[in-house]
């Protein structure tokens, strides 16, 4: 699996693009695909546990926004996105599992000073 990222900002939109490949490097289309979003300690963020992707393709965008990117007071801003897939391979067999993970930090805007407007 390959992952492409853009910068995450609290309250914004963050897109994680995942591309799927078999051990030979050939693109694959997962039969099933789910994703989960947690903090670094493993606590689920915004009830995003085992979210199914309907009709997955070899390249999938996971769009995170709103509460997915909230950084509550006293919470870590590091996030972990995990994908789990099942696919078939002509070379290696059926119902093979694929797991991938990426981490990213959500820029906490409450920590950024805002200009004073008269």
In a domain, 30, yes or no: yes
- The residue assigned the tokens 């670094």 is 40
- Domain of residue 93, CATH code: 2.60.40.1930
In a domain, 39, yes or no: yes
For residue 75, count CB atoms less than 10 angstroms from its CB and return exposed for 0-12, middle for 13-18, buried for 19 or more. Answer: middle
Distance between CA 30 and CA 43 in Å, rounded?
A: 26
Number of domains in the chain: 1
Domain coverage including residue 82: 2-108
In a domain, 63, yes or no: yes
**Residue 70: phi, psi to the nearest 5?**
-75, 145
pLDDT digit string, tens, across residues 53-73: 999 999 999 999 989 998 877
Side by side, which strands form the sheet with 2-5?
A: 2-5, 13-19, 59-65
Q: pTM (2 decimals)?
A: 0.84
pLDDT given for residue 76 in this prediction: 78
């Amino acid at each position: 699996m390959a992952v492409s990222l853009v910068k995450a900002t609290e309250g914004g939109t963050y897109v994680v693009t995942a591309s799927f490949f078999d051990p030979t490097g050939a693109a694959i289309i997962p039969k099933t695909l789910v994703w989960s979003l947690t903090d670094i300690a493993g606590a689920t963020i915004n009830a995003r546990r085992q979210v199914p992707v309907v009709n997955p393709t070899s390249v999938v965008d996971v769009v995170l926004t709103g509460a997915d990117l909230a950084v509550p007071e006293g919470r870590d801003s590091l996030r972990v996105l995990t994908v789990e897939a099942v696919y078939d391979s002509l070379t290696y067999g059926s119902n093979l599992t694929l797991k991938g993970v990426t981490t990213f930090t959500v820029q906490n805007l409450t920590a950024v000073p805002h200009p004073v407007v008269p």
